[in-house]
């Protein structure tokens, strides 16, 4: 599972690789792409927000731009994890309960400079879409948009990561443990090289 900056980074990869020529409402596509992780706010489950067994073939059949974004989210989660396994990442860094969270937040730091359309995405988050409020209360959508918009507004640091994750009501002890794991992973040069090459191994 990727975090929010990385989802935008890889959604653009998916869009340019598989969806050229398809009419897409970019605002709905990118907001839909990060929508599934609104589940952390508690009004929808992962099973309800994440499509099971996503494939590129099924992605191509979707017409609604918001639903396309949601499906893209699940596809990215799947392909990213497959890429990490293929690269042998977990042979370099042992996988425990919190390591996946540390990795995905490091990915956000790595991908932030590569993700040139974040200012546009921040603008898209000024709107609440009908597809969102069909699934969760509007107040939850507004809170999610505010959290992610603020998170996207500058390159992720320990402070902005902690603020974003605290906004998702994650226990501070867990946040501190994840931040410490991030420091540990960053000391491993091979692990960092693999993280930096994940994008080119997605598809």
Six token digits for residue 158: 């320990």
pLDDT given for residue 147 in this prediction: 97
Per-residue model confidence as pLDDT tens digits over 169-197 = 899 999 999 999 999 999 999 999 999 99
* Residues ≥6 apart with Cβ < 8 Å to 178: 98, 101, 102, 105, 165
The pLDDT of 1-25, averaged and rounded, is: 95
DSSP string, 50-76: S-SS--HHHHTT--SHHHHHHHHHHHH
41 neighbors 144 (Cβ within 8 angstroms): yes
Is the pLDDT at 17 greater than 90? The verdict is yes
The residue written with tokens 């969270």 in the block is 101
Distance CA 140, CA 56 (A): 30
Is the pLDDT at 21 greater than 90? The verdict is no
Per-residue model confidence as pLDDT tens digits over 46-101 = 999 999 999 999 999 999 999 999 999 999 999 999 999 999 999 999 888 899 99
Top pLDDT among 95 and 35 is at 35
How many H-runs (helices) and E-runs (strands) does the chain carry? Answer: 13, 0
Q: Give residue 166's region: left, alpha or beta (phi > 0; psi -120 to 50).
A: alpha
Residue 48's Cβ-count burial label (10 Å; 0-12, 13-18, 19+) is exposed
Distance CA 75, CA 151 (A): 23
pLDDT given for residue 98 in this prediction: 93
pLDDT given for residue 1 in this prediction: 78
Question: Helix or strand or coil: residue 76?
Answer: helix
Per-residue model confidence as pLDDT tens digits over 107-130 = 999 999 999 999 999 999 999 999
Q: How big is the CA angle at 201 (ends 200 and 203), to the nearest 5 degrees?
A: 100
């Amino acid at each position: 599972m990727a975090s929010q900056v990385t989802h935008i980074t890889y959604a653009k990869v998916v869009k340019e690789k598989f969806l050229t020529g398809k009419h897409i409402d970019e605002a709905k596509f990118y907001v839909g792409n990060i929508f599934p992780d609104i589940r952390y706010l508690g009004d929808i489950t992962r099973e309800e927000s994440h499509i099971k067994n996503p494939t590129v073939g099924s992605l191509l059949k979707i017409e609604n731009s918001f639903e396309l974004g949601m499906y893209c989210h699940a596809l990215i989660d799947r392909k990213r994890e497959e890429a990490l396994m293929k690269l042998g990442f977990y042979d370099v860094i042992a996988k425990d309960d919190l390591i996946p969270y540390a990795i995905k937040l490091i990915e956000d730091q790595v991908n932030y400079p590569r993700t040139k359309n974040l200012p546009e995405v921040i603008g898209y988050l000024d709107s609440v879409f009908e597809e969102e409020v069909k699934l969760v209360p509007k107040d939850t959508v507004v809170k999610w948009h505010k959290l992610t918009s603020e998170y996207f507004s500058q390159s992720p640091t320990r402070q902005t990561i902690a603020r974003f994750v605290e906004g998702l009501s994650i226990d501070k002890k867990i946040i501190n443990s994840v931040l410490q794991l991030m420091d540990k992973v960053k000391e491993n040069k091979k692990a960092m090289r693999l993280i930096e090459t994940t994008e080119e191994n997605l598809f």
